[in-house]
Structure 1
């Protein structure tokens, strides 16, 4: 069978014979997904090893494996197989494995040598999923360190291939693909028209106007169901088929095959149909312009699927689906005036990075090469959460608990909860229900903040009862996910029909230890949280009156967070299962109002103060720590800075720029605040008040950041005073601009003191000229210059003419070059 990519395959094999990396650009329909792995199978360098292809979507992974197996005249699981979450179709003779993203990461983590694998193929890399970026970064690390012979092929339909090839230092091949012209039009919505009704009108127009099947892109299953229901109201002589990743394999396969009875078809698809799967007979595309993509939701603590506008690249790719077999038409359901982003943003910059932080800790290296680097702030937040979950040590290394969490292949919060129940089958079954509930959309239509109400709806559905405010399909999906979790964790216990009042919260606390809350002693609707924040309940909260609870979802607001969903927690269980988080110790804190230290005996659960009473004498070590923390909060200005010490700091900062080879430390405010424990904490030893620190002690602490030889070099290269021709020592003033860069140093001196000096004095090993403020005998500025020679030659005659009559007792020689410098007036009578 001939594909558009076929003529390019010999060039691809030639490139991989001499290069270990390759970038392949090919539009949808070129055949790259199925033909490239088969072409690699007999390459000499493969030496009988496997080709592993990363396919981001499960539908595409199954379809690609099935198509390649049929080309070989085999069943899936022979030469070609696939592995996706909860499903494995790989046999002992499999040499091409199509895997989804989480599977590839596990393969690399479990066997960094990738024994038995000769090539990794990253398909649809333009989708920029987090797991794809991580997989490529890990693969490059493996290739650079232990597997120079490993081939890496990155395939993309719409990504900037030049940038990718430059990043990989790899050759770049492009395939033209096969397509027919596609006419694009925007199908306007009526006033206040819902998406499903606009979509229905567009489908009816397409069926009446154009031949062939219709492919409709919708954001998710909910919209697919709504449109399907509307289409069923009118009996078109067409078959309506959904296509999304949650469908059973048989239904997916049915969509990907031509209609056996020859009827026209309307396929309602999510963005799984954008690439890697071929839908026969499609002549019309109707595009909502929307997709569900993961975004970090701080309310829930997870990345959630959010409906967003697609990129222009995705819109072009979707439209191209209409031109696979003949001339086609694409109808866009957004206004022609709406502008789309050119490319899809990498997931890496917009999702929760706690799972990535766990993977990196397991890999044991942060020195990976990224096409787009993870945002440092989001990565640091992810690591903070992992420490709370006992997955990382204080120094950031992976714990045994963290290793167990990683093996579960889910979000670290859910993994921590599942592991907490691992030794009790009945409790584990309930934890599986909770994991499924937390990952799913809310199955209830009415608002309640009690997570128990959702679990009870699930239990009722299992018993054959569905509440009027519950979604039957939503509960069915949650039950199926919980079943998969029980199967995966080898949990033989049946899902419970009932659960004690605190059972859900006691488990949930292991997923959200930072959101465990205790009722405020003065306001029963507010809760102090373990992370130090505050949350409040709805006015009609089902959780009102609970002394302890845990929040699975919060809406963060300026003052208090609003608790959207949670469950009560048993304090006795907390004390048993979170014993290390309870403490009873002396604490010393800074009281800003009294500007003094307060010593208390404090009982805590993490950031929640349970009780406090005066502790009497202040512990010196705790006092120094508390005073240091006070400076961290109040700022460096509260310390007794002298003018001399301020100038000393500025001199250091100036020399850092002027003479970087000296290696002087950063003494900016930000740097000093970041290192308070190193220089200020020792200076506060034995003190119980901030004003007990003298200016001399502060100077000693700050200047101690430089060793003695550097201090001497500082005084030589950036002196505080300089000798002038009059024989006097005059001060040099140093300053920094608002952005922290050095301003020109200033020497203010009477003009008569510089007679005989031809050129401007310089400091910093002659690199920096002083700015001269030339003063009158009365100390008023006459001229500001860095060019003393030019001043004598061009400006001095005019200054002399003006000043001689005003200051007759001071010398104004005609020849300043040879005159004697003086700081005095002429004697009387001369």
Structure 2
């Protein structure tokens, strides 16, 4: 033990824990912090017979750390050192050091907040910043402040902002170990278009270029590991190819960690599970894809997804360091060197991006108003989580219910805990536990068959009622074992034979995912979820034609989510299981697509329509209100406008500007839309669709806004026409900023002054036209035009229109629109 790099700082660490009761330990990979520090605390005086809890973020790391410490002591696991992980425990009466996963530790804290018999808690690999790890630290800090001021806390990590964590732990001492690492050469390869063939090629290259040592290749997930393994067919017989990820049976995980036999080399294809905590003997080469898979959660849709992202710089360094544990090594990176500078320093804490429903339930059970968070959970995500817990019956006005406490004790996601508890209460506990276990693990089907979304088929396979080579035996065994554990927790009989038809599976899934009940819309495979979003599955899927589905697994990354796991459910089943969620609604509303009033009586489950029938004899007031709502959405353009109506609006707008002493109505679009009930509603009798709008007397409806004596006043202020010397009545255009009179020049002969409106206060803008009605002059000063510009205009017009009369003195000439030979009998135009 004295050869481990961590050894020189052990005395300082013991002093810090003895004096301050808390500390932060920074030590690089391979320093020995995971296995040496807990053993160093065995003889600490403050332990006083208490236990040391070591927290690991993963089951594999917990088992591996316990085994290594026990081996160091020359003991079996379960003596001085033991471990607790889900579905596996090796603890004995003499156990002092317990290595456990963070989730199991939360269960212990909830049942015993004071941690009786525990002297210290060590948070290993805290830089991973899991939600459970953050929550466990917050609980421990509160427990230490309120109940256990003698509880020692130690936060350990290889890559961590130690100063920030130390400040959070009330300025805890920081102990730093320089560690020991052999040099690792970095070799960059081009970023590949396809990951698996490029990784396989890099592994073959490394086997040729580096003659000694094992290879550790980092890939994002199990699927990429399997495809890379397929691409490595034909390796030399002395090469052992071993996968390493969290879904493997324990024996296969152990095989990947153990040293290769003498004379053989090992290639380990691993996920980020191998970045920290684990020691994989004999690794001299690391090949880093630069990718990892992280969970993302959208609180608005209550949907999560697994997303493949670039690793952080800290993770890349952790991976590189794996090649320099025992001797100089080589790290191949599948990206250009320049891209390293663009990597994030650290990945964001999971609490910022994860589904916080389990955390919200833990907080409710803990009854904490506030906690000492290192990174507070986002309020929006936490609020959405609490809404879901209310829907599942776990909370009532923010306080945990008896059902909520039972959900927490089960240790599954609250959705699945609710499924199992409710299923057991209804007499289907074994089926509910098998389904809960299935949904808490990865899909047990592999290959093309995994694209089948039917959960009922998987349940039959797990029960042995069907067989298929696509069933992963290791995954199936874990699911069955987990189901047994759930049955034991619920105190159910050991048998596992119950009704398991698709309808029951669907109803159980719907209990867990009430926001993901799907109703088919349109062609097979297209669905709407009760939460409001669209969802789809391939039209050839066996479930594509069902009217209703309960969806358990879904990808919420796209606008229309992809369904991965589901089961059919009937309308009758939904009505029976969710009576409190059903909403009966009679409505009369405007259908935007059809542009018609729809009068319906519906029964809805969220956004889904379970029943839809016509509503007979809707009230005329309701119909008119629906029509007006449609007009407000689509705009006044739906109404039958004509020139007369538009001119009325323009004249009234002119009167509002130049006759402000009167109470002229506002006939602008915004005002009309806001007062539809006042002027349009009385004219909507019998109107229920857009094709009826032509029946509306729109001019009369608008005129109703002008009470007596405004109509007569309007004719004085803004007359529709003006009489000109030729005898014609010419319409006035009020559409612009000032009134315009467009009239043939000849019809104005003899008139010395510019015509006006608004009782003489506003002269019109004259557009004087040629016989062909083309503008020849625009003026507000008719007299000035006769004196000045008329002479030049007359020359041009005489040339263009020689048959018309163009007098030298227009003020003494007879107004006309005729040619010379008709001068005697001018006809009004």
Alpha-carbon offset, residue 290 of structure 1: 2.0
Measure the CA separation in 1 of the matches of 2:498 and 2:447: 22
2:578 corresponds to 1:578: yes
Alpha-carbon offset, residue 172 of structure 1: 0.6
Measure the CA separation in 2 of the matches of 1:151 and 1:48: 14
Q: Contact 1:206/1:284 (CA < 8 Å) preserved in 2?
A: no
Structure 1 residues 131 and 201: alpha-carbon distance in aligned structure 2, compared to 1, 3 A threshold: same
Could you list the per-position Cα deviations for residues 516-556 of structure 1 after superposition, in whole angstroms to 9, with x for gaps in the alignment? 24566x99986564335555675556445544332334566
Measure the CA separation in 2 of the matches of 1:21 and 1:498: 54
2:174 corresponds to 1:172: yes
Query: What does residue 284 of structure 1 align with?
Result: 285
Q: Contact 2:394/2:400 (CA < 8 Å) preserved in 1?
A: yes
Measure the CA separation in 1 of the matches of 2:209 and 2:465: 43
Query: What does residue 352 of structure 2 align with?
Result: 349
Measure the CA separation in 1 of the matches of 2:477 and 2:460: 9
Structure 1 residues 246 and 524: alpha-carbon distance in aligned structure 2, compared to 1, 3 A threshold: closer
Q: Contact 1:299/1:553 (CA < 8 Å) preserved in 2?
A: no
Alpha-carbon offset, residue 406 of structure 1: 1.2
Q: Which moved more, 1:507-516 or 1:562-571?
A: 562-571
Query: What does residue 484 of structure 1 align with?
Result: 482
Alpha-carbon offset, residue 466 of structure 1: 5.3
Structure 1 residues 431 and 132: alpha-carbon distance in aligned structure 2, compared to 1, 3 A threshold: same
Structure 1 residues 118 and 434: alpha-carbon distance in aligned structure 2, compared to 1, 3 A threshold: closer
Could you list the per-position Cα deviations for residues 627-668 of structure 1 after superposition, in whole angstroms to 9, with x for gaps in the alignment? xxx9xx99xxxxxxxxxxxxxxxxxxxxxxxxxxxxxxxxxx
- Superposed, 1:713-792 pairs within 5 Å as none
Measure the CA separation in 2 of the matches of 1:504 and 1:227: 35
Alpha-carbon offset, residue 589 of structure 1: 9.5
Measure the CA separation in 1 of the matches of 2:427 and 2:514: 22
Query: What does residue 403 of structure 1 align with?
Result: 405
Query: What does residue 362 of structure 1 align with?
Result: 365
Structure 1 residues 541 and 64: alpha-carbon distance in aligned structure 2, compared to 1, 3 A threshold: closer
Alpha-carbon offset, residue 204 of structure 1: 4.1
2:6 corresponds to 1:8: no
SS at match of 2:52: strand
Could you list the per-position Cα deviations for residues 406-456 of structure 1 after superposition, in whole angstroms to 9, with x for gaps in the alignment? 11212122222112221466563365146415642473655898643x542
Measure the CA separation in 1 of the matches of 2:9 and 2:84: 28
* Aligned counterpart in structure 2 of residue 380 of structure 1, from 380, 383, 403: 383
2:442 corresponds to 1:440: yes
Structure 1 residues 333 and 323: alpha-carbon distance in aligned structure 2, compared to 1, 3 A threshold: same
Measure the CA separation in 2 of the matches of 1:528 and 1:103: 37
Measure the CA separation in 2 of the matches of 1:551 and 1:176: 51
- Superposed, 1:68-467 pairs within 5 Å as 68-168=69-169, 169-188=171-190, 192=193, 194-296=195-297, 303-338=304-339, 339-393=342-396, 395-423=397-425, 428-429=430-431, 431-433=433-435, 435-437=437-439, 439-441=441-443, 443=445, 445-446=447-448, 451-452=453-454, 454-456=455-457, 459-460=460-461, 463=464
Measure the CA separation in 1 of the matches of 2:559 and 2:67: 55
Alpha-carbon offset, residue 240 of structure 1: 3.1
Q: Would you say how many aligned residue pairs link Structure 1 and Structure 2?
A: 623
Could you list the per-position Cα deviations for residues 783-805 of structure 1 after superposition, in whole angstroms to 9, with x for gaps in the alignment? xxxxxxxxxxxxxxxxxxxxxxx
What is the TM-score with the length of structure 1 in the denominator? 0.67
Q: Contact 1:433/1:495 (CA < 8 Å) preserved in 2?
A: no
Query: What does residue 684 of structure 2 align with?
Result: none
Q: Contact 2:184/2:330 (CA < 8 Å) preserved in 1?
A: yes
SS at match of 1:69: helix
Measure the CA separation in 2 of the matches of 1:245 and 1:562: 25
Query: What does residue 725 of structure 1 align with?
Result: none
Measure the CA separation in 1 of the matches of 2:474 and 2:119: 42
Measure the CA separation in 1 of the matches of 2:557 and 2:249: 41
Query: What does residue 531 of structure 1 align with?
Result: 531
Query: What does residue 26 of structure 1 align with?
Result: 27
Alpha-carbon offset, residue 291 of structure 1: 2.2
2:41 corresponds to 1:40: yes
Unaligned 5+ segments in structure 2 are 620-624, 634-674, 679-829
Measure the CA separation in 2 of the matches of 1:36 and 1:539: 57
Structure 1 residues 336 and 496: alpha-carbon distance in aligned structure 2, compared to 1, 3 A threshold: farther
Could you list the per-position Cα deviations for residues 601-643 of structure 1 after superposition, in whole angstroms to 9, with x for gaps in the alignment? 764444545357769999xxxxxxx9xxx9xx99xxxxxxxxx
2:62 corresponds to 1:61: yes
Measure the CA separation in 1 of the matches of 2:314 and 2:175: 19
Structure 1 residues 310 and 277: alpha-carbon distance in aligned structure 2, compared to 1, 3 A threshold: same
Measure the CA separation in 2 of the matches of 1:413 and 1:458: 18
Q: Contact 2:453/2:541 (CA < 8 Å) preserved in 1?
A: no
SS at match of 1:552: strand
Q: What is the aligned-residue RMSD (CA, Å)?
A: 4.0
Structure 1 residues 310 and 528: alpha-carbon distance in aligned structure 2, compared to 1, 3 A threshold: closer
SS at match of 1:489: helix
Q: Contact 2:430/2:496 (CA < 8 Å) preserved in 1?
A: no
What is the TM-score with the length of structure 2 in the denominator? 0.67
Q: Contact 2:453/2:563 (CA < 8 Å) preserved in 1?
A: no
Structure 1 residues 262 and 507: alpha-carbon distance in aligned structure 2, compared to 1, 3 A threshold: same
SS at match of 2:550: strand
Query: What does residue 754 of structure 1 align with?
Result: none
Measure the CA separation in 1 of the matches of 2:558 and 2:105: 41
Measure the CA separation in 2 of the matches of 1:545 and 1:239: 46
Could you list the per-position Cα deviations for residues 234-287 of structure 1 after superposition, in whole angstroms to 9, with x for gaps in the alignment? 224233333333444444444444344353333332222222222232222222
Could you list the per-position Cα deviations for residues 149-183 of structure 1 after superposition, in whole angstroms to 9, with x for gaps in the alignment? 11110001011112221222211110000112111
Q: Contact 1:224/1:269 (CA < 8 Å) preserved in 2?
A: yes
Structure 1 residues 228 and 398: alpha-carbon distance in aligned structure 2, compared to 1, 3 A threshold: same
Measure the CA separation in 2 of the matches of 1:423 and 1:396: 24
Measure the CA separation in 1 of the matches of 2:198 and 2:249: 27
